[in-house]
Each structure stands twice: as structure tokens, then as C-alpha cells.
Structure 1
Amino acid sequence: MAGARKLTAPRGTHDVLPEETARRRRIEDVATLVLEGAGYRRIETPIFEDTDLFARGVGGSTDVVQKEMYTFEDRGDRSLTLRPEGTAGVVRAYLEHGMHKLPQPVKLWYWGPFFRYERAQKGRQRQFWQLGIESLGSDDPSVDAEGIVLLHRILRDLGVPGLRLRLGSLGTPAGREGYRETLVAYLREHEDRLSDEVRERIDLNPLRAFDSDHPGTKEVMAGAPLLLDHLPAEDTEHFHEVRALLDGAGVEYEVDPTLVRGLDYYSRTLFEFTSDALGAQSGVGGGGRYDGLAELIGGPATPGFGWGAGIERILLAQATGDPDHPEPGHDADPEGLAAADLYVAWTDGHRRTAFDLADAAAREGLAVRLDQAPGRGLKGQIRRAEKSGARTVVVVDDEGIRIDRSPGGRATGMTVADALAAARV
């Protein structure tokens, strides 16, 4: 239609094109190897859930619930929300399906899209992908340390440059009640210098003041009392044990007494991995313990620990080109395809033989490409095969089946079996 508006992807979303898919698959493959090797099993929860799950679980005082959720009513007048984070849905599934009857802790991992209406910027989208874990049913400090070590291993194996780990503790809600009163009193004393948003949340969520970028608030918080100095003995011991286990694993960290995260359900251990490659918006993944979340959404007391890592953030950090860790997919062809074991070129009149050869190779587990470009001559097919990095190139023409290029050299007068044997070399 003349004059019609050009349609593009909505702001804050992007198309994952084939050349990026190989890099994303590499992240998923590394995560699968590391997490399933540690006993985590994959879970997939719905992309939308009952809005009340997030209002109760994530917390009504958070920016996520107040400003960022994509919420809508379905045709049955039910309020539903596109999932803004992964933990609440996994805990809901744990409770709904009686996973408390399984040997504890139940260790789960997930990979998928999430949705938040926030200011779109490079590496931070309104539809974004996350990799995450949840370990439910144990409050042992080793669960916390193991989870942190696993994310460290994944990010290290992916070559994310400039990794730093910030570590803190919020203590339990009961254990930090006295500190909360102290902090509220301090904020009230300096209320005139705080941002409007922080002032409105003093009673609801005073800890979030540590996360403010407002200049006056930052000045006030530089002199604020610190939670780590007010933790009860039990919470302090839990934190010390997590630190000792990380020390034993050789994972370096910085204790950050001002560390907070944007969700209300956290307790005790809290952490965040950052990458120096990302500048101000440096976070690539983080999480912590959430022992009271199951109760908030109507279940029995169930300790839990988990984290989420942003796929777009990891990709952006990798794109800095750390020379010691080449980007995944460097051995792929220009279209982002992994190099094939066998490339089949053919001339007119030999389509069926070429197709049968490619099919036989695929059924034997070989990575195979059959040239299917309309009108491309044999020389052009050979050039395309060479650019693709194929290990073995077979030509099917009037001479029969012959190898044009392979690790074993050229050969003519071959059978299909001969060609397959050459491709397996």
C-alpha cells in the first residue's frame, strides 16, 4: 500500500539473525555441559504467568512490578504478565508439582526470553534472554558457593573479559530488622538531600537507597550505616562460610557492603558478576539466596538460591575481542554456519545422485551441505565450498562421483560409500 508505514521490530527488541545464532548456541552448549555436569536439570516455565505471582514474589515496592511489567487481561478477564524474571515461575513450578518430595536440593536450570519495559539500550533490551539456575530445598552455604562457582566457570569458559565478582549479604529479614530501623532513622535525618523516589520508599524499601544514581542520595549513602556491620552471628557465619568455600575454589571476589539487587525476595548471600568491557552498565549476571520466596507465593518455607545471566550482556562483552578468547564461531563460514564435514556440488542431470549422497551422509551423522543455489555453475560451487571451510568437497557430474578436495587428496571414480568414507577421515 502506497505510503504505508515501514514495519520494524518493536523498540527494545531485535531479530536474532543466523550469524548470531551460532554464538548464542555456544553459550547454551557451554551452560549445558557445566550445569548438567553439576546435577542441574533443565526446566521450562510459561512465558506468561498470573500477575499475582510477580506482585507477591518479586515485591510490590520494586521497579520491576511498579514500572516494568508487561501486564494484560486475557479473554477470561484474568490478569496475566509476561515473565520479567525466572525465579518466581520456577519456585511456583516446584511447589505446584510437589518437587519437595524429591531428594533435596532440587537443582534446575533454564534458558529463555524475559520481558521488562525499561529504557532500551545496547545490550539491555525489553525482550531479553537469560540463562539461570535455581537450587531449592537446602540452606547450606555450599549451595550458594557452588552456584557462584558454576556461573564463574561458564563466564570464564566463554571468554568474557574483565570479570569481577562483587559479594555481599543481606542477612535474613528477621536478622536485619534492627538494622532496618537504624537505616530508616538515618535516611529521615537526611531526607532533604534524597531523591524523590528514595524518599517515597524510605519505609517500604530503604535498602534500595544504596542503588540510587541521584548525586545527593549518593553523598548521603556514603556515610550510611552498613548492613554487614549489623548482621547477627548466624548470618555472619553463613557469609563467612560462603567466602571460605569460594577461597578454596580459587574464585576471587570483592566484598561490597552496599550491594543490593532490584528484587525484594533476596536474603543472605547476594552477588553480581561484572565485566570491565561493558563500561557503566557492566553487569553480566548475578543473584543470591531467597529463603522466604516460597512462603510469599503461598507455599511452605523452602530455602532457595539462584542466579540469572543476560545472554545479550555476555555477547556484548565477548564482542570486545579478548585476544586470549576468540569469539565462538571463528571457524564458521561467513553466514555463521559451522564448517561441514562434506560439501556436495553437482551439475545438471545429477541432482538425485547428489541428493542421495547428502542424505546418506546426514543419516550417518556427518555435517553436510548440498549446493542448492539456482544457476550456480560448478566453479562457483567449488569456490563456495572452499569459503565455507568444508573438510571434504565431492562433485557429482558426468564423470560420476569424485572428490575435488579432502584431507586425503583428490580421487575419481568413487561410489557413495567411498565418498562417505573420505568425509569421515
Structure 2
Amino acid sequence: MATEATAKAGEVGPSIALEPNNASAIPLLLGELTELINGLSPNDQARRLQAVAKARDLTQSLQTPREMMQRHLWTQHATVSLITVGMECGLFGYLATEGGSPKTVDQIANATGVERSLLRRILRHLTAVGHLVSTSPDMFAPTNFARALTLPTIYGGYPIQNQIVNPAWDKFPAYLAKYNYHPPSTSSPTDPCYTQQAQEVLTPVQFAHNLPPEQNFFEYAYSLPGVAVNFSNHMAGCRQGVAKWTDEGFYPLQERLIDGFSSGSEEEPEDKDDAVFLVDIGGSTGHDLVSLVDAHHPNLPGRLILQDLPEVVAGADKALLDEKRIEVMGYDFFTEQPVKEARAYYIHGVLHDWPDDKVVEILSGVKAAMKPGYSRLLVNETVTPREGANWALTSLDINMFLFAGAKERTEEDFLELIENRTGLKILKTWSVVNGQESLVECELPV
């Protein structure tokens, strides 16, 4: 049993529940927010994100503990579930028609088939949390967010959240208690609990859905109807608007990779067009390679190879990949890497899906294929700051633990995995916007 931690009698009085969380911070936050908003331009995303963070801090400072408790317990699950209901009954699609003009409850009920009194309650809640606008009694119009819920990239994650993720969160406290707050996926061999747990390494998702240890989150999720498509759309939505490593000013591709690209050794000369420039490992249907070609064509030399499981690459747009001269190769990254001595091996958003031991296994396979002093490994992941990480990174980190017993990693975590456990050398970490997109550039020492 975990040690019970409770406050001593009298240390916290009931009146604290009705006091603002941080009243002394309110004037400063209000001034900072006003300054940010006054200087905001339409294309200044960095300043907009700073304003969003300040507005959130201001709201939380103004709210009382009682209000925050109600928001957590009454609002969050309800809102996600009602958005899913609205998506499935056609609510948001109908509200977006005619340019999003206001519509009556009766009109919406006729279009969706939802019983009127229940519909009215759903619409009231979605209005209260800011997703709809009530223009007059019983008339509702969508906000930009509600209109965007007609896009697969925005609505795709909601059914998954309800079907797979929320049940795991509901049982998360019981999961941690089961392992006395030392779950096997986070424990080391020196942990006194490790030995007795080693035969049963369950993630919270496996625990909640009664899955066997050998069936991981992805295998389970993709076995459910519609989840594969929704998950792919959700991932595309998460990437939308996020900086790419191919963007100007992110990673100097010309000087780091194109310069020095080899057509082969003197002993085995080869046509430069036949030499492999970049292998995208676990690259799904090829979106990253397409972005690379679009950003740097015709400067890219050599061959470009997309690798993922056969059933994944089967869904790629073959005509588009042929047009971009991208080769497709079915490949499991837990097996030997068949492409040897490429200039670069690129792996994006894969390592955070796996615990440390599996990451070492993946990277060791890449290492065995690399040419010392020539090949580069490019790990495109978030690199979480040890202090000041934003909510998107911290949420993603704990969700990766829930799904797969994995995590988002700090710079120190990558150093431990890549250099200390794999034997590769980190040359530099290239980052933008609080680590949300980073590129860890590595090589095999000579």
C-alpha cells in the first residue's frame, strides 16, 4: 500500500475552496495579457500562443478550487462525449450549412433525429463551454471550432477518446494501486518491486480493457472498426500547423546532408542516383517524405525510401509517391535494416510509442546499417524541457504512458538512450517552439 499522505487537522480550512487560486498574480497576468494582445499580428503564432498561455493562467488564477473541481468532474468527460454524439448524429455538419447561420432547435432536431428536449440540453452545454453560440432563445450557431468538427482531422480523435482512452483513465488509479505506484514499464531492475512484476508488464490501456500482455495498444485499436482511419486522421490533425524539420530555418539540410552526399566508395563506385539519400523508417504513408521533396526539390540527390509495415504502406497514394520519386518498402523496424549505408535514416514520432528497451532495440537496428562518419540518424520527436514544458507536451507524455508504457523524453533521456545505451553520438538537437518539434541529429562514431 502507498503511504497515506494527508494534511494535519487545521492546516487547510474549508474557506480556501471559495478563494481565487492565486489572487496576487491577477494584476500582473492581466497586464501581460493586455500587452500581448495589443501587439498581436495575424501571422504572429508565437505571440498568439503566449497570449493563450497567459489567458489560461489568468482564468485559473481567478477560479476558485470549487469551480475547478466542478470543471474537472462535471465538464470534461461530458464535453468529449457530447462532441462525439454530435459528430455521429450529424449535428456539426448541419450547423455548418448555409455558412453557419443560426438554426432553431426544431430545425436541428429534424436534421439530426435527436429528441428535442435532449437536444436542447446538449446544445445548452456545448454553448456554455464555448463551442456554440446562442443567438436567441432556442437558436444556435457554430463557432469556428464547431465548424471545424466537420473535418476528419479534427473529429477523428473523439471516438477513440471515448472508446479506448477514457476507460483507461477511469481505471488509472486502480492500475497504479495494483503495482503500489511502481508500474513495471517505469521500473528499473534495481526496483524492489521489479522482479515480481516482470512477468506481467501491462500498460493502463491493457489493464482497463483486459488485454493480454502480448496485445499492445496499436494492435487492439486497429482491431476495432473505424479506429485505424480515425487515428490516422487524428495524427494528421495534430501535425497540422506544426513546424516541420523541412521548414526554412529549422534544419540546414544542404550543409548537413546534401553537402557530403556520396555516390559510393572508390572501391565500389556507383551511380549517384542509385545511392540512398534518406530512409524514412516507420513513415506511414509518406507525408514527411512528400514534404521533404516539396521543400527541397530539385536539390535532393539520390534515392528516397519509405518504410513501414506492409499493411500501412499499402494505404499510400502510389501515384503521388511515384511522382515524388519515393520508393515504398514494407518493413518492420524490429528486424534487420535492409538498406545499408544511407546518407540519413529518419524516424519521426515513433520512439515515443515505445518504452526504453524497445527504443534501444529500434535504434540498434539502425546503427547496424549506418556507415561510420557518414550516415546520420535523424530522430524527429518532441524534446520536453525539464522546466516550463507546456500543457500539450505534459499531456502527451502522460498519454503515451497510458497507451504504451512509453513517454515523451527530455534531452537527458535522449542522451541516455542514444549515447549511453546505443553507442551513437548526438551531434546537435534542433528545436523550435518549446520543444514541440525537435530533430536530434546523430552519427556513428568513426
Report the TM range for the smaller structure's normalisation.
under 0.3
Q: TM-score, normalised by structure 2?
A: 0.25
Q: TM-score, normalised by structure 1?
A: 0.26
> Counting helix residues as a fraction of each chain, which structure ranks higher?
2
Greater Rg, structure 1 or structure 2?
1
